[in-house]
Structure 1
Amino acid sequence: MSGRRRARGGAPPPSLYTHQPDRATVVRVSTDRRRVFEESAPVDRLTSIPDYYEEDPLTNAVFESSDFGYDLGDDSLAAEEQGPDTDGISVQRGKAKRYTNSDLPFQTWVKYRDEYLDEMLRLEGRGGPEISSACAACGSTAPEYRCENQTCHGPAMFCQDCIVERHQVLPTHWIQRWTGEYFERVSLAKLGLVVQLGHTLGSSCPAMQRGRFKFTVIDVNGVHNVAVQFCACDSTVEHRQQLMRVCWWPATALDPSTCATLGVLRLFQNLNCLAKVSSFHFLRSLELLTNADGLNPLPNRRRAFIHIVRQHRMMLMMKRAGRGHSPLGIEGTGQGELALLCRACPQDGKNLPVGWSRINWEAMPQDLRYKYFTFLAADANFRLINRDVSNETRDPVIDDGLGYFGNREQYKAYLRDHVDEEEISTCSGFQAMFLADAKRGKGLRTTGVGGVTCARHNMWRPNGIGDLQRGERYCNMDFILFSAILNSVILYLILSYDIACQYSKKFWDRMKGLPDAMHINPETTSVWFKVPNFHILGHKWPCHSPFSFHWMWGAGMTNGEDVEQNWEFTNGAAGSTKMMGPGGRHAFLEGLFAFHNWMRTVSYRKVLSQRLVRDLKEGRKHKEAFEAFTAVIEAEQPELVTRWKAWVKEWESEQHTEGHASPFEVSKPIKSLKEIRLQLGKDELTRTGEGVEIERQYTSSTFVALGLDIEDTQRTLAVDVKATTDPSPSQELELLTRKSSLLRRVNRFRNMQRVYMPELARFLPAAQRDILEDRRRPVETMKLFMPSELGNDIREKVCERGLTTIEEEMREAELDDTLEDLRGALRVRSGTNRFCNRNVRGQRGLTRGQGVLRQVEIRIHKAKLRYRYARNAILRIRGHGAWEKVYKVLADEDVRGINERAWSAEEEAERERLRGLGEILEGGVEAAGIVAAGEGSHTMSWIWYKTKLGDSDTEIIDALRVEWCKAYSRTHRWHEDIVLIEEEMRRTIEFGVWMGAEWERRAVARGVASPALAEGLRAYAKEHVQREEVTGRRLRKQWGGLRLKAAAYLEGIQDVGPSIVVNVDGEERDEEDEEGDVAGEEVFDGGEEDGLLQDADDV
């Protein structure tokens, strides 16, 4: 603030650079970016940069101030008071309970360090005569044994017979023996413990058969040698069965000598799927628990453990899918039957009304059809590569096509006939098209994985995964997609794909080359192609309207990007799967996808409710703004609204391609910043000669582009922070999330800056170096030190060759983009002001109109700040010149519409007074009505000289048309999302009802002779029945209030029922994490009452 106040007072700020002679160590990066050199050299005297303070005082004052901020010395944006919620929904951030020691735990603990150390050492001894004098069981004197870590009997000491007796059911505990001076570890096997299998505890077997000499059992506390005796009384019970009945999983089916307990397998399952701990490191950690000093080498059981894990995972999927309850057994498992289905997606016969597929779609209102849309997202991941090690003979794929992977044999047969098809891209520069043929493949069995998920809930589809051999080719993705919808009844398929604009071409023709069983009928199934919201920004502008979710009826707030979060979850396992054989990798990924789907299923309870809360709040806000906007237009020219609405409905009712006139677009003849970036990238591609355009993500143009993007985000965030006082918990959470996301981008920029500006820290003066190294500043005020922010001498020394030129070109394009945005916003404001002044009367109408205008004013304000900063950057690079006649200094009085005049001195003084009271005022005076007295002296602002001017009303109406059509679609998308989420809640509950009935049926489906097996089958089924009932009750209770609110909103009722409170996590979370609860951290807060996670097998 101090810099801004000095600027207004007329005193120029101090020079940006001051001379500090010194010697410094310089870190230099080699031209190939592979080596780093350090050398000591004197720091030359630095000359100050040209003083442009008088040219742009507002921008430069803040730019050179230590209180740097992206609001750039402009105090015109005042905060808006936040009113209380009126929708009856309160968002409450969970806060951890505070205790006396919770704030400074280590400062409290540090005083007791000696005490803690003494207690640890005390445990190394026997604990005193009251413990060591007699056996805790029989009372005999001088006991010598205790359980290590005192996990089962506390600090008690026992004689040998008693310690063995008490561990007959705990054979994998470690025992310590007192030597007279210290404790040494001994195994229970050496003390005489023998595990008798096949009989009840304490019984002996008259026909016992001793197991292997070094029978190994892997448990959670280490690797153990256990003495085992098998029962030979009943020859029909094999050794492997006897081991399984004591929860020991044998490594081999014949003559086993190595086992793992079910406890250690469950632990590894969680660590492996969630933390991506490999089997090697997990077993290695158990070996260190057993033999930390290496004096007693253990037998290598790694291969045996891998076999056990693989078998366990396969059987676990069979068990969960109810294959053990089926009379047909495992051999009767159908394609994709082992995969967990998405409960919120439409599932025929499970959560949809009876006879839904026979609905007369022509008679059904269009605004209800989208409830039955199937949203899918397709994408590829090039991290999950697999080297060409082992083969399918030595490591075969078992249960092919029964889970998440499609049938491999059919897949290979199809690819052999289509591998040489040529694919042409005319649009996007994403990896999918550029790397289809160029992707590295030498020494690899697969170059990645393609997958299909439900686009709204992140669930992997059955048979929706397939390996890629030569990049992301159409033939691969076609087979994967049609496998994912095999045996599904789909009437409307909405496919999200980052290259959908290209993939949609000849889609039905390519389907004909697939096996007949995979075909869908184009007469009964409509397929719409969309590009995810983030990816579409990288497409050419003709693709934006036809393939955007924003302008599609029934899409709701679907963004199509959720599949990227799924890849983030699986990428942690890429290092492990890279060197696996085909069968092991297949089984591992099947287990990983199953784990992910289960965690997503568990997260429904909170994710869906949080989405519905968001939709109700945002939907009401957008609806009110749109109605106010529409009212002022209808009051002037109601036929415009009728015509625009018909155009939007016509556009949204069908899938468009390039070339169709869109109601959401206006022409932009000026070369955009994105086009400048693309040209720079192509120039760098020519210089590198690599021939793979995707490499431009590592070039200097990308570095500069990232800096410009960060600056824009900082400005937007700074304005939003300033415009929000006393934020609600949900607003505060949103700001924290945005700051966290921005901070990560700034850190990434700093890492790139060390490459392209390696000597920056050396040549900066001390004051500026402190700003560079200060990590405590608010992220929206962090100074990036782009080339334009440096003096000419410093810029030449610290910047890579050509870096300044790149920024100069990008800044000029940024000026054009910003002026176009500013003019568009001013057109909207001018038209809205005119309609309001002529037609709106009454306090309510004026208040609602001001709410709309405030949003437009903020947009104008942001464009003004962006232009000022970009112009200032070019001025620092180029200096004064003829270019200033085109890109002039943008003063406050220049920010006005075509039909607005500048403020008079008296009006300017009044405007400053209103600003002090919290008003946002941008631009000039409306040249109509009472303020038309100055019409004779009206002059047009220079910002309009760079655009082609026709009839001003036509331009305004065109701008209003685009804004109205977008507002119309946005309002309907929020409305649709409420309908979709309410339906998804209903489907989730109904799926649970169906699943409970299915397990009830399975409980008696298989007739078996063994009473023990029959009881186990029934118990497992009944457990699932009970869990589904409890889950259903919980969901009905938790979602009941929200669903009532949603119904009231959809019926147009302002409010209904009592106020409800929705809890959200209190910690700061990434934007991606709202849907990324695959770890389950949001869902384990209900205890056993949830009925959601009571079976250890489920995790």
Structure 2
Amino acid sequence: MTGHRRGRGGAPPTLYTHRPDRAAVVRVSNDRRRIVERAAPVDRSATLPEYYQEDVNTNSALDSADFTYDMGDDSLVPEEEGPETDGISVRVRAKRYTNSDLPFQTWVGLRDEYLDEMLRLEGRGDAEIYAACASCGEADPRYRCENQTCYGPGMFCKSCVVEQHQVLPTHWIQVRCDYYWADGCFERVSLGELGLVVQLGHLPGSMCGAMRRGKYKFTVIDVTGIHKVAVQFCECDSRIKPRQQLMRVCWWPATALDPSTCATFNVIRLFQNLNCLGKVSSFHFLRSLELLTNADGLNPLPNRRRAFIHIVRQHRMMEMMKRAGRGHSASGVGGTAQGELALTCRACPQHGKNLPEGWNNINWAEMPEDLRYKYFTFLAEDANFRLINRNVSTEERDPVVDDGLGYFVNRRLYKEYLRNHVDEEEISTCSGFQAMFLADAKRGKGLRTTGVGGVTCARHNMWRPNGIGDLQRGERYCNMDFIFFAAILNTVMLYIILSYDIACQFSKKFWTRMTGLPEAMHINRQTTSIWFKVPNFHILGHKWPCHSPYSFHWMWGAGMSNGEDVEQNWEFTNGAAGSTKMMGPGGRHAFLEGLFAFHNWMRTVSYRKVLSQRLARALKEAPRHKEAFDAFTAVVEGERPELVAKWRGWVKEWESEQHTEGDSSPFELTKPVKSLKDIRLQLSRAELTRTGEGLEVRRQHTSSTLIAFGLDIENTQQYGAKDNVLIYRRILTIDVKATKDPTTTQEIDFVTRRTALLKRVNRFRNMQRVYMPELVRFLTNSQREIYEDRTRAAESIKLFMPSELAADVRDKAGETGLAKIEEEMREAELSDSLEELRGELRIRSGTNQFRHRNVTGQRGLTRGQGVLRQVEVRIHKAKLRYRYARNALLRLRGHGPWERVFRALAEEDVRGINERARTEEEKAEQERLRALGQIVEGGVGAAGIVVAGEGSHTMSWIWYKTQIGDGDEEIIDALRVEWCKAFARTRRWHEEIVLIDEEMRRTVQYGVWMEEEWERRAGARSRCSSELAEGLRAYAEEHIRRERRTRQRLTKEWSVLRSKATAYLAGSREMGESVVVDVDDVDGDDEEGDVPGEEQVEGNERDDEEDEADADDV
């Protein structure tokens, strides 16, 4: 048998083949229908070794002469050159045109034309335009509107242009600077300079007999710039104040008394959208308006930043009041209840709004499982130390007006409670958490708040009413307790699932701490149960005893909840940290209230797509996991049927209760796995016994020492003379082959390492002559040539362990039992190498997660790539070690049941516990990356949450054992863990379908309730003017129509998916008509990502204009 892989040829092994390097940029086409890839050659100054391999053929024992350190290592086998391409690859689904595929390239050839048209606009245009006034026909007009969007590109006389802009006073006018155009140009003037006076309180164009002029420098801020406008107030009716007259033309006054500055509603809405989405500050926004007004800086403008901030703050507050229906209530603003201004989650259970009548009076003991967990309320709590606030201004100068009416807790009650916990200190007993360790160490000098704590619904990313509170000194229990109980105040909840990254500590003495809160905030423990869980990613930082009790994966009714939603919400708010840091208490409070409201509205708008995506994914994953689990169960039941019933009951019993310890968890091993050290200790004790019986007295070393030393030479770490260089035998092989043209320094390093390795090999040979005295006599001719060759490099010398000899000569070449000793050590080595491989894969997952979340910029990414390369090298070593050990054990033991436990290690098996296997498309991309000399991983990690894969993939076999041996408790224990996990995953996906279907029903039902609520509000306020009554009715009708339209749209779009869910839950294999799901990046939840293989939802092509119209309400 040859040592070369089939189809590779017989070329000598090299680390990599030098080939032209190409880099590619992949993007989605503008019509979002195709993938466009553009590749180009790149210069690579230094080539690094590639550490990627395919599986060695370990299912057949290789001859010892062919079993080399090159086996199983594709990086040591040259790859053939592929054909060169033109560098551009486009996959087209339908016939397209250049203009749609490459619009910029089409435009490049028209640059002169575009430039000419821009310059043409600097003149008057066609003669027919400037020959006469477009309104009255007067000859030789000199004026035109700079916008040229109100009345087209026409030219006007002075009187006409002023008359045309009676209702557009914030447009700029261009006037011809010379009477004759020969050497003239246009200059900008304001309508005020042309004599336009805005008369308030009357129809446009009419004058008031009892008018009062406004201030000389009356300023109006609009999207077109900052304008000085001449205004006249009407005093015909003294009851209508100037501020009201301004509001009635959509100008918001900066002050309530004698205003001199105002902003149009349009500019306020524009700023709020830019402020919330782009985190554009008021300073930069006003600066941009100043540049639109006075780009050259020759005409200084008045500073209106403070006035604009006041306007925006007032508008934000009133918009929240308006959306909450406070204008429709007779009690008005003063009757607003705590948390009433907050937008609530439509998909979460809300008593009286989206739950069946009498749901809270159901006999829970008799209710089926699928009905009970539908009423779970999932919440997540966390603290954010980015949103700090410096100790600037005071509450007297900058007060909080809407205290406790929206998302923040009531400040007065909050401060009173915290006064009793000034010196409170908590220290976590669970490792890895700075949240509690730094509770008292957080920087606080000069800060009013060191951050904020918040509560969201854990499945839909919606901030809870009264669910935000400032932190004064880190993340203390007293703060987080108050915020949590305030967030659930006055709500009916039977089961609360609280996700918190320190839930294991937060849950201790939880009910005792509740007694220290105001009595009105207490909850009834007889009717409300709280389960504490740790988010999926954060649980990795906990000690092992916390994993099973606090994991969402092992909780009945959790579905595919992951608890990380609150972390994703902070990402949206953190962009505003720089602005809020220097705000006063009132301004910061109002700004964050608006930001949280904007976030909640955008999440509400996204429900249509998000819930569709999640249900589609659940319907795709649930049958796959159930099928895999049923097949797994059938195998186990075929051998040990009594185990399945025991395990099934164990899982259900565990999941149905809240645990604080993992001692009785069915998801954790109870039998420790023997390591190589354990086996060596066992053999040493056996040899000690033999020596005590007089069987071994003459030798300094034992036979197990020989085998152990041989394994050490192959695998054990040694330190060289320089920089603690690792001396692995096979690593030295790789390093030598990786260096094509070594420098003098590299040569010295190789010689030093070879010398140290050769000394160890010589020591092994001396020991081998004692325990294997007849070795040379029983070697084959080819083996003897290798054995006697003194010119071979140290890393290429064969040790000729018993596994490298033919089976019929092993006992003849040395002492009886040597092969048995190596067999036991090789089996232990397999366990050790698998454990090493698993450990490195966990490191890789964590490193990837850190890079995705924290590393930006070329410098950081380059350094991160270096770290990943080091991790990949270690994964590579562990992978090779396992393959060599398995090949040796196969030669010693032959085929048998042990191969079901220690399988052949394929490349797709080398993936983290959170990584899934690659698809065929991803494998093709993997090959492309290999050609570029990049690091290639064996699996695809789940971005965002490391352990998310626990519920969305079938695990690689390296993470468990699969053989049931007679009386082998260790294997049964490992098999039990994997079966229980598979059972839990199957249950979670089933629950996810139930939960999402219920969330869809609740969302639609909430719309019905909102429609009825606005019907009630429309006529709730009777004592008001007819004009106000008409506005109240119109606004209510707008919401009624929106709710009705949304409800009808959701019912229609979700009907097919919900029918599929109903069919699946009923056990039907017929899933009804086909449906395609539109996958957009709107979820923000890493656990529920794109659904592979499903691209578009039929009927979900909602116009962008409609989405934007919905968002305009914020």
Q: Is the 8 A contact 2:250 2:264 kept in 1?
A: yes
Q: Is the 8 A contact 1:214 1:257 kept in 2?
A: yes
CA deviation vs aligned residue, 1:268-324 (integer Å, no higher than 9, x gap):
111110111111101110000000000000000000000000000000000000000
In 2, the alpha carbon distance for the partners of 1:153 and 1:896 equals 91
Number of the residue aligned with 1:76: none
SS of the residue 2:979 aligns to: helix
Describe the SS at the equivalent of 2:429. coil
Out of 530, 550, 557, the residue aligned to residue 554 of structure 1 is: 557
Q: Determine which of 956, 964, 968 is the counterpart of 2:979.
A: 964
Distance of 2:191 and 2:349 partners within structure 1: 56
* % identity of equivalent residues: 71
CA-based RMSD of the aligned residues comes to: 4.4
Identify unmatched segments of 5+ residues in structure 1.
19-42, 70-92, 673-763, 771-789, 797-812, 825-864, 877-883, 912-917, 921-942
Q: Is 2:497–2:533's contact at 8 Å kept on the other side of the alignment?
A: yes
Aligned length: 834
CA gap of 1:815–1:602, structure 2 versus 1, over 3 A, is: farther
Offset, 1:429 = 1.1
Q: Measured at CA, do residues 895 and 552 of structure 1 come closer, stay the same or move farther in structure 2, by a change above 3 Å?
A: farther
Partner of 1:1000: 1015
Q: 1:1020 to 1:1093 in 2, by over 3 A?
A: farther
**Alignment match of 2:619 (pick from 604, 612, 616):** 616
Counterpart residue identity of residue 157, structure 2 = C
CA contact (8 A) 1:316 1:1097 kept: no
Match of 2:124 among 126, 130, 133: 126
SS across alignment from 1:189: coil
Deviations 1:351-410 (CA, angstroms, capped at 9, x unpaired): 011111111112212342101100000011111111111111111111100000000111
Q: Does 1:347 align with 2:381?
A: no
- Is the 2:11–2:78 contact (alpha carbons within 8 Å) kept by the matching residues of 1? no
Aligned counterpart in structure 1 of residue 498 of structure 2, from 495, 500, 503: 495
How many Å separate the matches in 2 of 1:179 and 1:967? 81
1:411 matches 2:414: yes
C-alpha distance 1019-423 of structure 1, shift in aligned 2 (>3 A): same
Partner of residue 683, structure 1:
none
Change beyond 3 A, Cα 1:628–1:283: same
| Separation of aligned partners in 2, 1:131 and 1:955 | 93
Structure 1 residue 1075: Cα displacement: 9.9
Corresponding position of 2:508: 505
- How has the CA–CA distance of structure 1 residues 96 and 275 changed in structure 2, closer, same or farther, with 3 Å as cutoff? farther
Distance across 2 between alignment mates of 1:208 and 1:1008: 30
TM-score normalised over the length of structure 1: 0.70
Match of 2:1102 among 1081, 1086, 1090: 1086
1:964 and 1:251 mapped to 2: Cα distance? 67
Instruction: Give the conservation status (yes or no) of the 8 Å contact 2:671–2:970.
Output: no
Partner of 1:236: 239
Specify the SS of the correspondent of 1:464.
strand
Paired with 1:545 and 1:966, the residues of 2 have a C-alpha distance of 11
Matched, 1:650 2:653: yes
Give 2:109's aligned amino acid: K
Alignment partner of 1:13 is 2:14:
yes
What one-letter code is carried by the residue in structure 2 that aligns with 1:870?
A: R
Shift, 1:568, TM fit: 0.5
Alignment of 1:798-877 (within 5 A): 818-820=833-835, 870=874, 873=877
Equivalent of 2:152, from 142, 151, 154?
A: 154
Pair 1:381 & 2:384 matched: yes
Q: Is the 8 A contact 1:6 1:13 kept in 2?
A: no
Q: Is the 8 A contact 1:818 1:867 kept in 2?
A: no
Shift of residue 1003, structure 1, vs aligned partner: 0.2
Q: CA–CA distance in 2 between the matches of 1:768 and 1:231?
A: 87
- Residue by residue over 1:876-919, the C-alpha shift from the partner in whole angstroms, topping out at 9 and shown as x without a partner, is 9xxxxxxx9xx883455757999953999xxx99x9xxxxxx99
Structure 2 residue 610 is matched with structure 1 residue 595 = no
Out of 277, 290, 297, the residue aligned to residue 300 of structure 2 is: 297
User: 1:817: how far off?
Assistant: 6.3
Give the corresponding residue for 1:806: none
Partner in structure 1 of residue 102 of structure 2: 104
Match of 1:976 in 2: 991
Q: Aligned in 2, Cα 1:329/1:625: closer, same or farther, shift over 3 Å? A: same
CA deviations on 1:482-529 (whole Å, 9 max, x unpaired) are 000000111101000111111111110111111101111112111100
* Cα deviation code 1:591-646 (max 9, x no counterpart): 00000000000100010011001001100111111112222322333221111111
Q: What whole-Å deviation, never above 9, does each CA across 1:681-721 have from its counterpart, x for those lacking one?
A: xxxxxxxxxxxxxxxxxxxxxxxxxxxxxxxxxxxxxxxxx
8 Å contact from structure 1 (residues 135, 157) kept in 2: yes
Alignment of 1:242-281 (within 5 A): 242-281=245-284
1:1061 is matched with 1076
After the TM superposition, which of the residue ranges 1026-1035 and 145-154 deviates more from structure 2?
145-154
Secondary structure of the residue that 1:102 maps to in structure 2? helix
CA distance in 2, matches of 1:814, 1:16: 33
Match of 1:936 in 2: none
Pick from 174, 177, 181: which aligns with 1:176?
174
Instruction: Assess if the C-alpha contact under 8 Å between 1:495 and 1:529 holds in 2.
Output: yes
SS of aligned partner of 2:520: helix
**Greater CA drift, 260-269 or 658-667:** 658-667
The structure-2 alpha-carbon separation of the partners of 1:276 and 1:1074, relative to structure 1 and needing over 3 Å to count, comes to farther
> Residue 109 of structure 2 aligns to a residue in which SS?
helix
Q: Compare relative contact order (CA 8 Å, sep 6+) and give the higher one, 1 or 2.
A: 1
| Preserved contact between residue 390 and residue 448 of structure 2 (Cα < 8 Å) | yes
Structure 1 residue 63: Cα displacement? 6.1
1:447/1:64 Cα in 2 relative to 1: closer, same or farther (>3 Å)? farther
Following the alignment from structure 2 to structure 1, what is the Cα–Cα distance between the partners of residues 94 and 260?
A: 49
Q: 2:884 pairs with 871, 889, 913, which one?
A: 889
How far, CA to CA, are the matches of 1:117 and 1:648 in structure 2? 72
Distance 2:415 2:588 in 1: 17
1:62 aligns with 2:75: yes
Offset at residue 987 of structure 1 (A) = 0.4
Residue 1095 of structure 1 deviates from its aligned partner by: 6.1
The Cα of 1:950 is off from its aligned counterpart by 9.9
Shift of 1:956: 2.6
Contact 1:198 1:242 in 2 (8 A): yes
Distance 1:197 1:794 in 2: 90
Does structure 2 retain, via aligned residues, the 8 Å contact 1:218–1:264?
A: yes
Within 2, Cα distance between the matches of 1:176 and 1:105? 34
| Counterpart residue number, 1:607 | 610
TM-score by length of 2: 0.69
Structure 1 distance, partners of 2:600, 2:1022, is 31
Distance, in Å, in 2 between the alignment partners of 1:67 and 1:384 is: 55
Within the candidate set 628, 634, 641, 1:625 is matched to 628
| Secondary structure of the structure 1 residue equivalent to 2:493 | coil
Q: Taking structure 1 as reference, are residues 868 and 582 closer, same or farther at Cα in structure 2, changes over 3 Å only? A: closer
Q: Which amino acid aligns with 1:334?
A: A
Residues 1:822 and 1:281: Cα distance change in structure 2 (over 3 Å): closer
Change (3 A) 1:7 1:1058: closer
Q: 1:1095 to 1:1053 in 2, by over 3 A?
A: closer
What are the residue-to-residue correspondences of 1:598-997 with 2, within 5 Å? 598-667=601-670, 669=672, 818-820=833-835, 870=874, 873=877, 889-892=884-887, 894=889, 900-901=895-896, 953-997=968-1012
Structure 1 residues 289-368: aligned runs within 5 Å: 289-368=292-371
In 2 relative to 1, CA 361–901 (structure 1 residues): closer, same or farther, beyond 3 Å?
closer
CA contact (8 A) 1:815 1:867 kept: no
Matches within 5 A, 1:401-550: 401-550=404-553
Alignment partner, residue 199 of structure 2:
196
Please, which runs of 5 or more residues in structure 2 have no aligned partner?
20-44, 52-65, 83-90, 179-183, 676-733, 741-745, 753-827, 840-868, 907-918, 924-957
Aligned residues of 1:463 and 1:484 also touching (Cα < 8 A): yes
Shift in Å, 1:130? 1.8
CA distance in 1, matches of 2:319, 2:739: 58
Aligned residues of 1:896 and 1:902 also touching (Cα < 8 A): no
Give the 3-state SS of the residue equivalent to 1:1064 in structure 2: coil
> Distance in 2 between the 1:867 and 1:410 partners?
52
Residue type at the aligned position of 1:172: T
